[in-house]
Each structure stands twice: as structure tokens, then as C-alpha cells.
Structure 1
Amino acid sequence: MKSLAVAFTGPSDSGKTTLILKVAALLKRDYTLAIVKNDPSDKAHFDVEGKDSWKFSQTGAEVVVTSPTRTTLFSKRHKTLDDIIAMLGNFDFLLVEGLKTLPLPRIAVFRGKLNESYFDCSDAIAVDETVNLNDYTLPSTITILDLNNPEQVVAWIMQNAKKVR
């Protein structure tokens, strides 16, 4: 068990989820994975109104639904990254989408144009051919990755992911 983590950040519709899916497909061949997705606008819904688990979660309690194939936690309390890592159990790689304030190695994902406000919190940027890097002054500390080359992204993760336990 490696317990290494890396984060992905970037504007909406930049390709973060697609890249994470491609990276996960490559990593899952040899490693166990965990993925955390941030929902900054609190718009995701994970249960159906009227069902028992929804009724239980409306009480404000921590609710766990278990079945032969999965376990789901419905929590009404904020969890820190350390709390989440403890709940996840064993994993080799944790891929985090969002949460740009976490102290994790971070890949910012862009299509069309760069948003320079991400430079301070990014260790690498993944871009496609729609971004003209000559239009920007990039910090020398940022590695440039090809958004369409998940093998290259995985290689960067292998070298830069942070041990989280």
C-alpha cells in the first residue's frame, strides 16, 4: 500500500473529470484507487427523496447504508482530508478533484486558455493543443503535461504524488 495522493484543479468544463478517469483506468491495472470529488456549490444529490436512507439523513445523523456490493456514508458534517483518508481504508493512490487549498501536489487542467490565478497552487498544468503556451509567462517550477497523454500524467504522478499516511 503506497497511500500516495495528488490533486487536480481547474475551471469548470476544463477536462478534470475526463483526465482523472483516464488516469484511473491506467492506475487501476496495478494499484488500488480512491477518488475524492469536491462539490463547491453543494449541488450533488446522492439519495432519492422519500427513500429510507434519505429519511435517515434528514435527521442530521451520520448514516451508513451497506449492501453486499457497497457501503455508502451520508454525512451532514464537513470532513477534513485526514478524516476522509481514514474512512477510505487502504489505497495506493488517492486522486482528488478540486479542493485547491489542500497541501497536495496539484495538476491544473486547462483547455482553450490558461487561468494564471491557478499558477500559485499548481505543480503541473495539463493542456491540449487549444492552449498557446507562448501567450503566457509560466513559472519555471510548473511542469507542462499533455492533457491527451494520460500515460505522461501517470508518470508525473508516480514521481510527484505525496505520501498521505
Structure 2
Amino acid sequence: MAKIIGFAGYSGSGKTTLIEKLIPIFTGKGLRVSVIKHAHHRFDIDIPGKDSWRHREAGATEVLVASSHRWVLMHELRNEPEPDLDQLINRLTDPDIIIVEGFKTHPIKKIEVWRELTQHPRIAPNDPHVVAVASDKPTQDNLIQLDINQPQQIVEFILKLS
């Protein structure tokens, strides 16, 4: 069973940068890592004019592109509801660690990423699923404090979570 940990924080808080530092530490321990990132806006990973783009534009619901280096499955919702986090997790292939960026309101254990400089409000006071805060400055609450600049410390914390 994979360990699932979310990272929540406002745009510019450093979530992606932190996750980028954690992944090689996990993989260096021989763990398989999957990341689910929620985008609040329309996004595209395809290139206009390429065959896969043309297939999608023609109306294909799914287009799978494969090479000797990677494969990707693009699924067009075409007015279907957006899948929830549990449905997306079930599509992953046997990870040891699932890192979730976004999905702020989903009831999974989360680490809040907060930097004093951004002056954004804290998420933890309104989210009982926040189990720790990764920050550049200690916060005034009872949460476990993690140093955002010490990714090894954060990895060890995640691995010890039950």
C-alpha cells in the first residue's frame, strides 16, 4: 500500500520546488514515487499540429503516445466530470510514495508549505488534515515544524508517518 502525502500552500510558496528536492531522496532509497498535480486552469502537454494533438482534435477520447523512453495517456473529459483524487490514485502503477500537489480540500495527510515572505494566510487553522508545516520560519502553532530547506528531514518525517 502506497504512502500518500499532500502538499498544500498558496501559489509561490515553494511546493513544486520542495517536491522536486524530495523526489530524488525517495528514489535514492529505492522507492517508486508518483506525483499527482492538480491544475486549476486548462493545460495541455501536447503540441499543436503533432499527430497526437490531431487525433485529440478529431475527437478521440484517449490518445496514448509511447516511445522507448516513456508513455503518456491523454484523456479528454469531453463534458465528463473531473475525476476525484481517489480515481486518479487508482490509475497509478504500484508506487511506494504518492505525492499530491493541490487538491487542498481532499482529506489526506498534508504538509503545509508556507513562507513568511509571501504573507499568505495559513492553511492549517482551517484544515484538520495538515500534519506539519514546512517553512522558512517557525510558526506559532502546535504543528510539527519542518525546515523547508532541509528536504532530508522532510523525507524522514514522511517515511515515519503512519
Relative to the length of structure 1, the TM-score reads 0.83
Aligned partners of 1:98, 1:70: CA distance in 2, in Å? 24
Residue 65 of structure 1 corresponds to which residue in structure 2? 65
Residue 127 of structure 1 corresponds to which residue in structure 2? 135
Work out whether residues 138 and 145 of structure 2, in 8 Å CA contact, stay in contact via their aligned partners in 1.
Answer: no
| Displacement after TM superposition at 1:132 (Å) | 5.9
Residue 48 of structure 2 corresponds to which residue in structure 1? 49
Aligned partners of 1:108, 1:60: CA distance in 2, in Å? 38
Work out whether residues 10 and 118 of structure 1, in 8 Å CA contact, stay in contact via their aligned partners in 2.
Answer: no
Residue 85 of structure 1 corresponds to which residue in structure 2? 89
Work out whether residues 105 and 160 of structure 1, in 8 Å CA contact, stay in contact via their aligned partners in 2.
Answer: no
Aligned partners of 1:143, 1:114: CA distance in 2, in Å? 19
Q: Does 1:26 align with 2:43?
A: no
Percent of pairs with identical residues = 32
Aligned partners of 1:132, 1:31: CA distance in 2, in Å? 30
2:64 aligns to what SS in structure 1? strand
Aligned partners of 2:138, 2:89: CA distance in 1, in Å? 37
Residue 11 of structure 2 corresponds to which residue in structure 1? 12
2:105 aligns to what SS in structure 1? coil
Aligned partners of 2:138, 2:132: CA distance in 1, in Å? 16
Q: Does 1:102 align with 2:101?
A: no
Q: Does 1:116 align with 2:115?
A: no
Aligned CA RMSD, in angstroms, stands at 1.8
| 1:73-106 deviation line (CA, Å, top 9, x unaligned) | 1112222222222221111001111111222110
Matched residue count = 152
Structure 1 residues 96-105 or 117-126, which shifts more?
Answer: 117-126
| Structure 2 unaligned residues grouped into runs of 5+ | none
* One-letter amino acid of the counterpart of residue 8, structure 1: F
Aligned partners of 1:106, 1:16: CA distance in 2, in Å? 12
* One-letter amino acid of the counterpart of residue 149, structure 2: N
CA pair 132-89 structure 1, distance change in 2 beyond 3 A: closer
